[in-house]
Chain A
Amino acid sequence: MDFQAMADGLAAAVLAVDGIRSCPWLTDKIDPPPGGGFFVVGELEISYDETFHRGLDSVMVTCRLYTSRADERTGWATLRALQAGSGPRSLKAAIETDRTLGGACKTLIVRRVKGDGLYQAAGVDYFGARYDVQVWGAG
Protein backbone atom coordinates (compact mmCIF):
# COMPACT_ATOMS: atom_id res chain seq x y z
CA MET A 1 0.00 0.00 0.00
CA ASP A 2 1.25 3.47 -0.89
CA PHE A 3 0.67 5.26 2.38
CA GLN A 4 0.92 8.75 0.86
CA ALA A 5 -1.61 7.82 -1.81
CA MET A 6 -3.86 6.57 0.96
CA ALA A 7 -3.47 9.85 2.85
CA ASP A 8 -4.13 11.81 -0.34
CA GLY A 9 -7.27 9.75 -0.82
CA LEU A 10 -8.55 10.51 2.67
CA ALA A 11 -7.88 14.22 2.27
CA ALA A 12 -9.67 14.21 -1.08
CA ALA A 13 -12.65 12.21 0.16
CA VAL A 14 -13.66 14.72 2.83
CA LEU A 15 -13.77 17.55 0.27
CA ALA A 16 -17.15 16.17 -0.78
CA VAL A 17 -18.56 17.75 2.38
CA ASP A 18 -19.52 21.40 1.98
CA GLY A 19 -17.23 23.74 3.90
CA ILE A 20 -14.27 21.40 4.35
CA ARG A 21 -10.62 22.01 3.54
CA SER A 22 -8.03 19.32 4.06
CA CYS A 23 -4.35 18.46 4.14
CA PRO A 24 -2.94 14.96 3.56
CA TRP A 25 -0.13 15.40 6.09
CA LEU A 26 0.32 16.63 9.65
CA THR A 27 0.49 20.41 9.47
CA ASP A 28 0.09 23.41 11.75
CA LYS A 29 -1.14 25.63 8.93
CA ILE A 30 -4.79 25.22 9.88
CA ASP A 31 -7.31 27.22 7.84
CA PRO A 32 -10.97 26.26 8.41
CA PRO A 33 -13.42 28.25 6.28
CA PRO A 34 -16.21 30.18 8.10
CA GLY A 35 -18.78 27.64 9.28
CA GLY A 36 -16.60 24.79 8.09
CA GLY A 37 -13.76 22.59 9.15
CA PHE A 38 -10.14 21.74 8.37
CA PHE A 39 -9.30 18.04 8.13
CA VAL A 40 -5.75 16.84 8.61
CA VAL A 41 -4.47 13.32 7.91
CA GLY A 42 -2.07 12.62 10.74
CA GLU A 43 -0.17 9.77 12.29
CA LEU A 44 -0.14 6.20 11.04
CA GLU A 45 0.01 3.09 13.18
CA ILE A 46 0.88 0.32 10.72
CA SER A 47 0.38 -3.38 11.38
CA TYR A 48 2.32 -5.40 8.85
CA ASP A 49 1.69 -9.00 7.79
CA GLU A 50 -2.03 -9.36 8.50
CA THR A 51 -1.91 -12.30 6.07
CA PHE A 52 0.88 -14.50 4.81
CA HIS A 53 3.31 -13.56 2.08
CA ARG A 54 2.82 -9.84 2.60
CA GLY A 55 -0.75 -10.14 1.48
CA LEU A 56 -2.29 -7.49 3.73
CA ASP A 57 -1.29 -4.62 6.00
CA SER A 58 -3.63 -2.57 8.16
CA VAL A 59 -3.18 1.04 9.21
CA MET A 60 -4.88 3.02 11.95
CA VAL A 61 -4.83 6.61 10.73
CA THR A 62 -5.30 9.37 13.27
CA CYS A 63 -6.92 12.34 11.56
CA ARG A 64 -7.78 15.68 13.07
CA LEU A 65 -10.74 17.97 12.45
CA TYR A 66 -10.45 21.63 13.39
CA THR A 67 -13.15 24.30 13.52
CA SER A 68 -12.75 27.99 14.24
CA ARG A 69 -12.99 29.28 17.79
CA ALA A 70 -13.78 32.82 16.63
CA ASP A 71 -17.43 32.20 17.51
CA GLU A 72 -17.66 29.49 20.15
CA ARG A 73 -21.27 28.49 19.54
CA THR A 74 -20.74 28.25 15.77
CA GLY A 75 -17.43 26.46 16.16
CA TRP A 76 -18.88 23.73 18.40
CA ALA A 77 -22.03 23.39 16.34
CA THR A 78 -19.96 22.92 13.20
CA LEU A 79 -17.78 20.34 14.91
CA ARG A 80 -20.81 18.40 16.09
CA ALA A 81 -22.45 18.54 12.66
CA LEU A 82 -19.36 17.17 10.93
CA GLN A 83 -19.21 14.31 13.44
CA ALA A 84 -22.56 12.95 12.24
CA GLY A 85 -22.57 9.30 11.28
CA SER A 86 -24.51 9.89 8.09
CA GLY A 87 -25.93 12.67 6.01
CA PRO A 88 -24.52 15.39 3.78
CA ARG A 89 -22.25 16.88 6.49
CA SER A 90 -20.92 13.57 7.76
CA LEU A 91 -17.17 13.14 7.31
CA LYS A 92 -17.57 9.44 8.09
CA ALA A 93 -20.05 9.05 5.24
CA ALA A 94 -17.86 11.04 2.88
CA ILE A 95 -14.76 8.95 3.62
CA GLU A 96 -16.68 5.67 3.33
CA THR A 97 -18.33 6.58 0.02
CA ASP A 98 -15.43 4.92 -1.78
CA ARG A 99 -13.83 2.54 0.68
CA THR A 100 -10.94 1.97 -1.72
CA LEU A 101 -10.06 5.69 -1.88
CA GLY A 102 -9.81 5.48 -5.64
CA GLY A 103 -7.72 2.30 -5.52
CA ALA A 104 -5.25 3.42 -2.86
CA CYS A 105 -6.40 0.73 -0.44
CA LYS A 106 -8.55 -2.40 -0.26
CA THR A 107 -11.11 -1.16 2.27
CA LEU A 108 -11.53 1.07 5.30
CA ILE A 109 -13.84 2.03 8.12
CA VAL A 110 -14.10 5.20 10.17
CA ARG A 111 -14.06 3.63 13.62
CA ARG A 112 -14.51 6.50 16.03
CA VAL A 113 -14.18 10.16 16.84
CA LYS A 114 -12.69 11.13 20.18
CA GLY A 115 -10.83 13.84 21.98
CA ASP A 116 -13.29 16.69 21.51
CA GLY A 117 -11.70 19.76 22.90
CA LEU A 118 -9.48 22.78 22.48
CA TYR A 119 -6.43 22.41 20.26
CA GLN A 120 -3.68 24.83 19.46
CA ALA A 121 -1.74 25.03 16.22
CA ALA A 122 0.88 27.68 15.46
CA GLY A 123 -0.29 29.59 18.53
CA VAL A 124 -3.94 29.72 17.47
CA ASP A 125 -6.76 27.99 19.36
CA TYR A 126 -9.31 25.79 17.58
CA PHE A 127 -12.05 23.37 18.54
CA GLY A 128 -11.17 19.94 17.36
CA ALA A 129 -11.55 16.19 17.46
CA ARG A 130 -9.54 13.15 16.42
CA TYR A 131 -10.79 10.55 13.96
CA ASP A 132 -9.57 6.94 13.97
CA VAL A 133 -9.77 5.55 10.45
CA GLN A 134 -8.73 1.91 9.93
CA VAL A 135 -7.45 1.15 6.46
CA TRP A 136 -6.47 -2.20 4.93
CA GLY A 137 -4.24 -2.46 1.90
CA ALA A 138 -1.87 -4.68 0.01
CA GLY A 139 1.32 -5.56 1.83
Chain B
Amino acid sequence: MTLTPTVLVNCRNYLAGADLTAFENKLELSASVTDEEVTTFNSGGWKERVGGLKEFGCNADFFWQAADNSMPDDTFWGQLGTATVPFTAIPATGAVGDLAYVSRVLDAEYKQGAPIGKVLSGSAQLKGNWPLGRGLVLHPNGTARTSTANGTAVLVGATLATQALYVTLHVFSVSGTSSPTITVAIQSDDNSGFTSAATVGTFTAATAIGGQTMRVAGAITDTYLRASWTISGTNPSFLFAVAAAVAPL
Protein backbone atom coordinates (compact mmCIF):
# COMPACT_ATOMS: atom_id res chain seq x y z
CA MET B 1 0.00 0.00 0.00
CA THR B 2 1.33 3.46 -0.84
CA LEU B 3 0.11 6.77 0.48
CA THR B 4 -1.11 9.44 -1.91
CA PRO B 5 -1.73 12.43 0.35
CA THR B 6 -4.35 15.02 -0.50
CA VAL B 7 -3.44 18.67 -0.27
CA LEU B 8 -6.84 20.19 0.33
CA VAL B 9 -7.23 23.00 -2.16
CA ASN B 10 -10.30 21.65 -3.91
CA CYS B 11 -13.37 20.75 -1.97
CA ARG B 12 -17.00 21.69 -2.33
CA ASN B 13 -19.53 22.66 0.31
CA TYR B 14 -23.13 23.17 -0.68
CA LEU B 15 -25.65 24.50 1.82
CA ALA B 16 -29.23 25.15 0.71
CA GLY B 17 -28.81 27.18 -2.51
CA ALA B 18 -25.24 28.32 -1.87
CA ASP B 19 -22.02 26.89 -3.25
CA LEU B 20 -19.74 28.15 -0.49
CA THR B 21 -16.57 26.73 -2.00
CA ALA B 22 -14.95 29.97 -3.17
CA PHE B 23 -15.74 31.72 0.13
CA GLU B 24 -14.50 29.01 2.51
CA ASN B 25 -10.94 28.23 3.52
CA LYS B 26 -11.61 25.65 6.19
CA LEU B 27 -14.13 22.86 6.30
CA GLU B 28 -14.19 20.28 9.06
CA LEU B 29 -16.61 17.37 9.17
CA SER B 30 -16.78 15.31 12.35
CA ALA B 31 -18.81 12.23 13.20
CA SER B 32 -18.95 10.53 16.58
CA VAL B 33 -20.63 7.75 18.49
CA THR B 34 -21.42 7.94 22.21
CA ASP B 35 -19.45 5.58 24.37
CA GLU B 36 -21.92 3.37 26.29
CA GLU B 37 -20.28 1.17 28.88
CA VAL B 38 -21.70 -2.35 29.40
CA THR B 39 -19.11 -3.74 31.78
CA THR B 40 -20.24 -6.62 33.96
CA PHE B 41 -18.62 -9.00 36.40
CA ASN B 42 -18.22 -11.30 33.43
CA SER B 43 -16.13 -8.79 31.48
CA GLY B 44 -12.82 -10.34 32.62
CA GLY B 45 -11.61 -7.23 34.38
CA TRP B 46 -11.82 -5.14 31.27
CA LYS B 47 -14.37 -2.49 30.34
CA GLU B 48 -16.77 -3.36 27.61
CA ARG B 49 -18.50 -0.86 25.41
CA VAL B 50 -21.08 -0.52 22.72
CA GLY B 51 -21.66 2.38 20.41
CA GLY B 52 -24.70 4.45 21.28
CA LEU B 53 -26.18 7.37 19.47
CA LYS B 54 -24.33 8.81 16.50
CA GLU B 55 -24.04 12.44 15.60
CA PHE B 56 -22.12 14.62 13.20
CA GLY B 57 -21.24 18.25 12.81
CA CYS B 58 -19.50 20.56 10.41
CA ASN B 59 -17.44 23.66 11.10
CA ALA B 60 -16.70 26.09 8.31
CA ASP B 61 -14.52 29.20 8.12
CA PHE B 62 -15.09 31.63 5.29
CA PHE B 63 -14.70 35.17 3.99
CA TRP B 64 -17.85 37.21 4.47
CA GLN B 65 -20.00 38.40 1.59
CA ALA B 66 -23.66 39.27 1.27
CA ALA B 67 -25.99 39.89 -1.65
CA ASP B 68 -28.43 37.03 -2.14
CA ASN B 69 -29.05 33.42 -1.14
CA SER B 70 -25.94 32.30 -2.96
CA MET B 71 -23.74 34.21 -0.48
CA PRO B 72 -22.45 33.03 2.92
CA ASP B 73 -23.96 35.80 5.08
CA ASP B 74 -27.41 35.46 3.51
CA THR B 75 -27.19 31.68 3.85
CA PHE B 76 -25.83 31.27 7.37
CA TRP B 77 -27.88 34.13 8.81
CA GLY B 78 -31.03 33.28 6.88
CA GLN B 79 -30.89 29.61 7.87
CA LEU B 80 -29.91 30.19 11.50
CA GLY B 81 -32.09 27.94 13.61
CA THR B 82 -33.42 26.00 10.64
CA ALA B 83 -32.94 22.29 11.24
CA THR B 84 -33.57 20.96 7.74
CA VAL B 85 -30.89 22.69 5.69
CA PRO B 86 -29.66 20.55 2.77
CA PHE B 87 -25.96 19.85 3.19
CA THR B 88 -23.35 18.34 0.89
CA ALA B 89 -19.59 18.21 1.44
CA ILE B 90 -17.25 16.91 -1.25
CA PRO B 91 -13.50 16.49 -0.63
CA ALA B 92 -12.80 16.88 -4.34
CA THR B 93 -13.87 18.98 -7.30
CA GLY B 94 -17.48 17.84 -7.26
CA ALA B 95 -17.48 15.95 -10.55
CA VAL B 96 -20.03 13.21 -11.20
CA GLY B 97 -19.00 10.17 -9.20
CA ASP B 98 -16.91 12.07 -6.64
CA LEU B 99 -17.24 11.08 -3.00
CA ALA B 100 -19.88 13.19 -1.26
CA TYR B 101 -21.16 13.43 2.31
CA VAL B 102 -24.88 14.08 2.31
CA SER B 103 -27.38 15.03 4.99
CA ARG B 104 -29.46 17.84 6.39
CA VAL B 105 -28.31 20.05 9.23
CA LEU B 106 -29.27 22.53 11.90
CA ASP B 107 -27.60 25.87 11.29
CA ALA B 108 -26.57 26.20 14.92
CA GLU B 109 -24.03 29.02 15.14
CA TYR B 110 -22.82 31.88 13.00
CA LYS B 111 -19.99 34.23 13.88
CA GLN B 112 -18.60 37.10 11.86
CA GLY B 113 -16.00 39.77 12.44
CA ALA B 114 -12.40 40.87 11.98
CA PRO B 115 -9.89 43.27 13.49
CA ILE B 116 -9.46 46.58 11.74
CA GLY B 117 -7.74 46.25 8.38
CA LYS B 118 -8.32 42.50 8.09
CA VAL B 119 -10.68 40.80 5.69
CA LEU B 120 -14.14 40.36 7.22
CA SER B 121 -14.49 36.66 7.98
CA GLY B 122 -17.00 34.32 9.49
CA SER B 123 -17.39 30.88 10.95
CA ALA B 124 -20.39 28.62 11.22
CA GLN B 125 -21.27 25.51 13.13
CA LEU B 126 -23.71 23.06 11.61
CA LYS B 127 -25.15 20.08 13.50
CA GLY B 128 -26.50 16.97 11.85
CA ASN B 129 -30.23 16.38 11.79
CA TRP B 130 -30.18 13.15 9.79
CA PRO B 131 -27.76 10.30 9.40
CA LEU B 132 -24.62 11.39 7.59
CA GLY B 133 -24.51 9.51 4.33
CA ARG B 134 -21.29 8.75 2.49
CA GLY B 135 -22.26 8.70 -1.15
CA LEU B 136 -21.54 10.09 -4.59
CA VAL B 137 -22.18 13.14 -6.74
CA LEU B 138 -24.93 12.57 -9.32
CA HIS B 139 -24.85 16.02 -10.95
CA PRO B 140 -22.05 18.60 -10.68
CA ASN B 141 -22.26 22.33 -10.16
CA GLY B 142 -20.87 24.41 -13.00
CA THR B 143 -22.70 22.81 -15.92
CA ALA B 144 -25.59 25.02 -16.94
CA ARG B 145 -28.71 23.10 -17.96
CA THR B 146 -31.10 24.71 -20.36
CA SER B 147 -33.34 21.83 -21.44
CA THR B 148 -34.84 18.59 -20.19
CA ALA B 149 -32.36 15.72 -20.05
CA ASN B 150 -30.95 12.84 -18.07
CA GLY B 151 -27.71 12.79 -16.19
CA THR B 152 -24.91 10.27 -16.02
CA ALA B 153 -25.47 6.83 -14.48
CA VAL B 154 -23.62 6.42 -11.19
CA LEU B 155 -23.07 3.12 -9.41
CA VAL B 156 -24.25 3.91 -5.86
CA GLY B 157 -25.25 0.44 -4.75
CA ALA B 158 -28.45 -1.10 -3.49
CA THR B 159 -30.45 0.21 -0.52
CA LEU B 160 -31.46 -2.43 2.04
CA ALA B 161 -34.81 -2.48 3.80
CA THR B 162 -33.07 -1.17 6.92
CA GLN B 163 -31.59 1.73 4.99
CA ALA B 164 -32.75 4.76 3.08
CA LEU B 165 -31.47 6.70 0.10
CA TYR B 166 -30.65 10.26 1.08
CA VAL B 167 -30.47 12.82 -1.71
CA THR B 168 -29.68 16.54 -1.73
CA LEU B 169 -30.55 19.03 -4.44
CA HIS B 170 -28.92 22.46 -4.46
CA VAL B 171 -30.11 25.02 -7.03
CA PHE B 172 -27.46 27.73 -7.30
CA SER B 173 -28.76 29.96 -10.05
CA VAL B 174 -31.89 30.43 -12.13
CA SER B 175 -32.27 32.61 -15.18
CA GLY B 176 -34.75 33.04 -18.00
CA THR B 177 -38.28 34.35 -18.41
CA SER B 178 -41.81 32.97 -18.33
CA SER B 179 -41.28 31.34 -14.92
CA PRO B 180 -38.20 29.17 -15.51
CA THR B 181 -38.72 25.95 -13.59
CA ILE B 182 -36.66 22.83 -13.01
CA THR B 183 -37.99 19.57 -11.61
CA VAL B 184 -35.32 17.05 -10.64
CA ALA B 185 -36.11 13.37 -10.25
CA ILE B 186 -33.89 10.53 -9.15
CA GLN B 187 -34.06 7.43 -11.32
CA SER B 188 -32.68 3.97 -10.66
CA ASP B 189 -31.90 0.94 -12.79
CA ASP B 190 -30.00 -2.30 -12.58
CA ASN B 191 -27.76 -1.37 -15.50
CA SER B 192 -25.76 1.69 -16.49
CA GLY B 193 -27.63 1.97 -19.79
CA PHE B 194 -30.86 2.72 -17.90
CA THR B 195 -32.87 0.50 -20.18
CA SER B 196 -35.61 0.13 -17.57
CA ALA B 197 -35.45 3.29 -15.49
CA ALA B 198 -37.64 3.62 -12.42
CA THR B 199 -38.31 6.87 -10.59
CA VAL B 200 -37.14 6.67 -7.00
CA GLY B 201 -38.37 10.10 -6.01
CA THR B 202 -38.97 13.58 -7.36
CA PHE B 203 -38.07 16.90 -5.80
CA THR B 204 -40.53 19.77 -5.69
CA ALA B 205 -40.27 21.98 -8.77
CA ALA B 206 -37.70 24.73 -8.17
CA THR B 207 -38.03 28.25 -9.50
CA ALA B 208 -35.44 30.02 -7.34
CA ILE B 209 -32.10 29.56 -5.59
CA GLY B 210 -32.50 27.07 -2.77
CA GLY B 211 -32.04 23.49 -1.63
CA GLN B 212 -34.08 20.38 -0.93
CA THR B 213 -33.55 16.99 0.62
CA MET B 214 -35.20 13.66 -0.09
CA ARG B 215 -35.22 10.44 1.90
CA VAL B 216 -36.53 7.28 0.28
CA ALA B 217 -36.84 4.21 2.47
CA GLY B 218 -35.35 0.95 1.18
CA ALA B 219 -35.36 -1.58 -0.18
CA ILE B 220 -34.14 -0.35 -3.56
CA THR B 221 -32.57 -3.24 -5.39
CA ASP B 222 -31.30 -1.19 -8.33
CA THR B 223 -27.66 -0.21 -7.97
CA TYR B 224 -27.41 2.61 -10.53
CA LEU B 225 -28.82 6.08 -9.97
CA ARG B 226 -29.02 9.18 -12.13
CA ALA B 227 -30.50 12.64 -11.91
CA SER B 228 -33.15 13.45 -14.46
CA TRP B 229 -34.43 17.00 -14.91
CA THR B 230 -37.38 18.66 -16.62
CA ILE B 231 -36.94 22.32 -17.53
CA SER B 232 -39.52 24.81 -18.68
CA GLY B 233 -39.63 28.54 -19.38
CA THR B 234 -38.20 30.87 -21.98
CA ASN B 235 -34.41 30.74 -22.38
CA PRO B 236 -34.12 28.96 -19.03
CA SER B 237 -30.75 28.16 -17.48
CA PHE B 238 -30.01 26.44 -14.18
CA LEU B 239 -26.93 25.60 -12.18
CA PHE B 240 -27.53 22.83 -9.68
CA ALA B 241 -25.93 19.89 -7.91
CA VAL B 242 -27.27 16.55 -6.75
CA ALA B 243 -25.66 14.01 -4.45
CA ALA B 244 -26.97 10.75 -3.06
CA ALA B 245 -25.95 8.34 -0.31
CA VAL B 246 -27.23 5.20 1.33
CA ALA B 247 -27.42 5.34 5.13
CA PRO B 248 -29.41 3.78 7.96
CA LEU B 249 -33.12 4.50 7.90
Which positions in A face B, CB cutoff 8 Å?
A: 49-56, 107, 109, 111, 136
Contact = CB atoms under 8 A, between A and B. Distances in A.
Interface in B4-18: 8-13
B21 A52 contact: yes
A33 to B, nearest CB: 31
B34 interface: no
A53 B119 contact: no
A55 B119 contact: no
Q: Chain A: interface secondary structure? A: mixed
A52 B141 CA distance: 15
Nearest to B27: A52
Given A49-B9, A54-B9, A136 B21 contact: no
Given A109-B117, A111-B117, A136-B119, A53 B9 contact: yes
B59 interface: no
B11 A52 contact: yes
A3 B53 CA distance: 52
Nearest to B20: A52
Contacts of A136: 119
Contacts of B229: none
23 contacts: A50-B25, A50-B63, A51-B21, A51-B23, A51-B62, A51-B63, A52-B9, A52-B13, A52-B21, A52-B25, A52-B27, A53-B9, A53-B12, A53-B21, A53-B93, A54-B10, A55-B21, A55-B22, A55-B23, A56-B25, A56-B63, A111-B117, A136-B119
Contact of A53 (B22, B63, B117): B22
Nearest to A109: B117
Nearest to A107: B119
Contacts of B9: 49, 52-54
Interface residues of B, number: 17
B contact patch SS: loop
A53 B119 CA distance: 19
Q: Which 10 A-B pairs have the closest CB atoms?
A: A55-B22, A53-B21, A51-B25, A49-B9, A52-B21, A52-B11, A53-B10, A51-B22, A52-B24, A53-B22
A54 to B, nearest CB: 7
A71 B49 CA distance: 84
A29 B69 CA distance: 50
A107 B12 CA distance: 24
B11 to A, nearest CB: 5
Contacts of B24: 51-52
A4 to B, nearest CB: 23
A132 to B, nearest CB: 11
Nearest to B142: A53
A1 to B, nearest CB: 13
Interface in B121-135: none
A100 B10 CA distance: 26
A50 B117 CA distance: 17
A56 B24 CA distance: 10
Interface in B50-79: 62-63
A56 B23 CA distance: 8
A10 B26 CA distance: 31
A56 B117 contact: no
